[in-house]
Amino acid sequence: MPAYPRTRPRRLRQFDWSRRLVREHALRVDDLIWPTFVLDGDPAPQAVASMPGVNRLGIDDLVQAVGQARSLGIPAVAIFPVIDPALKTPRGELATDPDNLVCRAVRAVKKAVPDIGIICDVALDPFTTHGQDGLLVDGRILNDETIEVLRQQAVVQAQAGCDVVAPSDMMDGRIGAVRDALDEAGLQRTMILSYAAKYASAFYGPFRDAVGSKGALGGGDKRTYQMDPANTEEALREVGLDIEEGADMVMVKPGMPYLDILRRVKERYGLPTYAYQVSGEYAMLMGAAERGWLDGPAVMMESLLAFKRAGADGILTYAALDIAERLRG
């Protein structure tokens, strides 16, 4: 490029039309995945205090809200169950019960809104008394024993109508094991979105409030299975393993503090790659907006665009409904 004054980058920024003409990235409704929280029974919506604007919904309200997402053009929703503490057990047996809350919610949503994608986590934390994603014995999370349970959990969820199972537990070898279990059950068409590079992050706090696993977890953490925030090369190895084991899509989580990881994963593997703008990221933006310190919709849009710039094919965001409405204009 010739130097200034021949080159003046501001020339192209003069007008709205010229800015639009040279714009490199765009956020579309097709990029959005909406994570939701479902309650048992038929309760009124319950606000999540640490996530302004997010409600936990009973199944009927969820079905209605997913219908709204569908009519706004959102391609897929993720459904997270809020399990009654009285039903939690040390081994999380309810996770593999075909009539558990998440399976019932999936069946109801699938029936009422058949043409939206349904994604479910595969992990035990909503169902265990200790709030860990796997089986806990003598202070250790058992890997291979946990995988046996995850295989069954994935199958019951897929049989209920879940289109995409999303193992979020970070056990070694779980993607291959879940793929085999699905195939053996005749569920070859069920997709796997792997939480491939999932970090042991403090940004999950508000989510754990929303699903009620924080109290269960107590002072515990997930550092023996979720990744160390200090690591990059290990994230690439994790993603590589999940792809070899049969992941159709991969995810990096959290989002904004890990944009570098997202970029490198997308560049290295080229698979459909998703970013999870997690609960703590949402809380930071919306909490500041609530106080009038930030322009909420503007910072949300800018953050979501950052994921596109970094290479994401899509984003899980609690703001999906609102953003879809705005993108429609």
Cα 282 from chain centre: 12
**Is residue 133 close enough to count as binding ligand PBG by CB under 6 A?**
yes
Contact between 248 and 272 under an 8 Å Cβ cutoff? The reply is: yes
Q: How far apart are CA 192 and CA 251, in angstroms?
A: 11
In the bound state with ligand PBG, the residue whose beta carbon lies nearer, of 212 and 296, is: 212
Rule CB under 6 A: which of 207-226 touch ligand PBG? 207-208, 222
Q: How far apart are CA 75 and CA 178, in angstroms?
A: 24
Nearest of 65, 105, 95 to residue 324 by alpha carbon:
65
**Is residue 274 close enough to count as binding ligand PBG by CB under 6 A?**
no
User: Angle at CA 247, nearest 5°, toward 241 and 253?
Assistant: 80
Q: Which of 36, 168, 194, 303 binds ligand PBG (CB under 6 A)?
A: 168
**Which tokens sit at 12?**
């192209």
Q: Give the residue numbers marked as catalytic.
A: 198, 253
The least distance separating ligand PBG from the CB of residue 16, rounded to whole angstroms, comes to 35
**Is residue 319 close enough to count as binding ligand PBG by CB under 6 A?**
no
In the bound state with ligand PBG, the residue whose beta carbon lies nearer, of 2 and 219, is: 219
* Strand ranges in 199-313 using DSSP code E only, listed in sequence order: 249-253, 273-276
User: Angle at CA 316, nearest 5°, toward 200 and 253?
Assistant: 20
Q: How far apart are CA 256 and CA 236, in angstroms?
A: 17
**Is residue 242 close enough to count as binding ligand PBG by CB under 6 A?**
no
| Binding characters for ligand PBG, 73-112, by CB under 6 A (x = yes) | ----------------------------------------
Q: Which of 127, 204, 225, 258 binds ligand PBG (CB under 6 A)?
A: 204
**Is residue 128 close enough to count as binding ligand PBG by CB under 6 A?**
no
Rule CB under 6 A: which of 278-307 touch ligand PBG? 278-279
In the bound state with ligand PBG, the residue whose beta carbon lies nearer, of 48 and 267, is: 48
**Is residue 123 close enough to count as binding ligand PBG by CB under 6 A?**
yes
For residue 117, count CB atoms less than 10 angstroms from its CB and return exposed for 0-12, middle for 13-18, buried for 19 or more: middle
| Window contacting ligand PBG (CB under 6 A); options: 38-46, 117-125, 148-156, 257-265 | 117-125
| Window contacting ligand PBG (CB under 6 A); options: 95-103, 141-149, 200-208, 236-244 | 200-208
> Nearest residue by C-beta to ligand PBG?
207
Phi, psi of 281 (to 5 degrees): -70, -45
In the bound state with ligand PBG, the residue whose beta carbon lies nearer, of 184 and 234, is: 234
Contact between 37 and 48 under an 8 Å Cβ cutoff? The reply is: yes
Q: How far apart are CA 179 and CA 185, in angstroms?
A: 10
Count residues contacting ligand PBG (CB under 6 A)?
Answer: 11
**Is residue 199 close enough to count as binding ligand PBG by CB under 6 A?**
no
**Is residue 32 close enough to count as binding ligand PBG by CB under 6 A?**
no
Supply the Cα-derived Rg of the chain in whole angstroms: 20
Binding site for ligand PBG (CB under 6 A): 121, 123, 125, 133, 168, 204, 207-208, 222, 278-279
